[in-house]
Chains A and B, each alone.
Chain A
């Protein structure tokens, strides 16, 4: 029992007296954390964060006023599953989380975008968040989440999403780290008839980021659009995982992932599309493109297509490349210095997932600025009003 992966880490947590859900914790103790022999964790090693002396601590939530968005009531948190099949990080979350947010949008309500920021309250913190998003039939909402971490902390969250008939959620998850912190965020979404889930994940910086999106498309007419922009440099590591399950006929999904890796960074995209037997007339697209700005950077794409129906149009493509020398030269002959020419080309590439999701202008502008700051050209290349 003591030789499971992460046993020491769990001992320290137990010692801190922070466990809220003993059943979940016992289950986690028994199985430990996934090591790299587990297929889904082949590229990502939790040794770093598990080796840190982290103290369970609270979640800071800053949000604009909204009656429908707020801290989650304890009753909604405590009933988390301690099912042994649950992901180890979800068990960790279930063991410790007393907090998170609840976003509950009533029938046919159309909301203005809600902006919320999340972060640790302390240094060296292990922060768990357990979130619920529920859109009643015909509701439409846009949620902009910004998860910011400190150098040595670990932010770990689970978000459950229920979209009822005809509900439409547009969501941005901006995962930022100034330092070498760890962030692991999982989403499990369930889509009813004609529901639509559009989500853009942007991950910048950080020691280790692993973002997972699991979407069950449960009824006809529903659509999942997953887009991601991954910007990594230095020793940073990102693992973006999707699993879109078409569990009903006449459903569609689209996944657009763009990765930019520089220096010695590593980025992985594990993209799953599953089409169940009898789920006919499915369209599922997936395109992953990675841009390598350094010879020592690494980008991996692992598409997983499991298709058990016949009338299915699924496509997936993956490219890894560097900047076009021809384009770079063309820009330079126009007097644009090399570093700016490079920035302009990377910017064009990195903007693609932003265009894949219909975002409010202010959000797009905010993300655009993040991108430019990352590229070292803040405020540059403004689009002209013609």
Chain B
């Protein structure tokens, strides 16, 4: 489904961050990327989404065969990519529910479907929000404004549930969550696992991977995948730390 080959990316000042990433994720698989702070995990997610400020200097990324790097960020979303952000942006004045409806209908429109009317959308929104413990008052607030760390992560998960992506990239969705919030978010993610949806779970700690159990684990260090394995690799890293990979 997602095919990353030799991906290299620099910052605008020329600093090399991603130094050749290869990663193949088949439909229905969950892959995890672990690595020390600053190794390029968020950069990988951002480059996949098309965030301005990075220069892609080599390699290719295909989602279901289509060249992602040629697309605008919104086209990538329409193609089925979703990024849950490590630091979701606050957008004052834009009501969360209005934003969600715009996103859902933009995606429907791109797929040649009619937009959902307010009633139909609210019904779906309520149902999905409820399973994530998101109440009406949060949906009436401005996007991410005044949300706690946990609320932001749940709101990212709600967006994913509504947009039903083919390929979801979760960037440190566990950071800042206590164990109960982590469970809610992980349950939300697990509910979306299916044979034609894939996940790339980025995390610094293996704790999240106890709840969202990956098929494959990759260690990212200094812009490269230095080791890949199954879920036992996460435990190994937890015990020995990242030092041996950083030295490599």
Contact = CB atoms under 8 A, between A and B. Distances in A.
Given A345-B94, A348-B92, A384-B97, A330 B106 contact: no
Nearest to B162: A334
Contact of A384 (B72, B78, B94, B101): B101
B52 A325 contact: yes
Contacts of A349: 93
Interface in A301-352: 324-327, 329-338, 340-341, 344-345, 347-349, 351-352
A384 B77 contact: no
B175 interface: no
Contact of A333 (B49, B97, B101): B49
B83 interface: yes
A58 B163 CA distance: 57
A366 interface: no
Nearest to A355: B93
Interface in B154-176: 159, 163
B179 interface: no
Contacts of A41: none
B140 A386 contact: yes
Given A327-B91, A348-B92, A351-B93, A338 B52 contact: no
B73 A333 contact: yes
A75 interface: no
Contact of A326 (B76, B77, B89, B103): B89
A39 interface: no
A335 B74 contact: yes
A334 B99 contact: yes
A324 B126 CA distance: 29
A338 B75 CA distance: 10
B89 A334 contact: no
A336 B118 contact: no
Contact of B139 (A331, A344, A382, A386): A386
B201 to A, nearest CB: 17
Given A335-B107, A384-B122, A348 B94 contact: yes
A327 B89 contact: yes
A384 B93 contact: no
Interface in A348-362: 348-349, 351-352
B110 to A, nearest CB: 7
Contacts, number: 99
Given A337-B106, A384-B98, A348 B91 contact: yes
B95 interface: yes
B78 A329 contact: no
A330 B88 contact: yes
A339 B135 CA distance: 30
A385 interface: yes
Contact of B103 (A334, A380, A382): A334
A341 B73 CA distance: 12
Interface residues of B, number: 40
A330 B85 contact: yes
Interface string B47-85: 001111000000000000000000011101110001101
B118 A330 contact: no
Given A348-B94, A384-B97, A384-B122, A332 B102 contact: no
B147 interface: no
Nearest to B48: A333
B77 A333 contact: yes
B91 A381 contact: no
B118 A385 contact: yes
B115 to A, nearest CB: 10
24 contacts: A327-B89, A330-B85, A330-B89, A330-B91, A332-B73, A332-B77, A333-B49, A333-B74, A333-B77, A334-B77, A334-B102, A335-B74, A335-B77, A336-B74, A336-B103, A347-B94, A349-B93, A351-B93, A382-B98, A383-B97, A384-B121, A384-B122, A385-B118, A386-B126
Interface of A: 324-327, 329-338, 340-341, 344-345, 347-349, 351-352, 380-386
Q: Which 7 A-B pairs have the closest CB atoms?
A: A348-B93, A335-B77, A334-B103, A332-B73, A335-B106, A330-B89, A335-B107
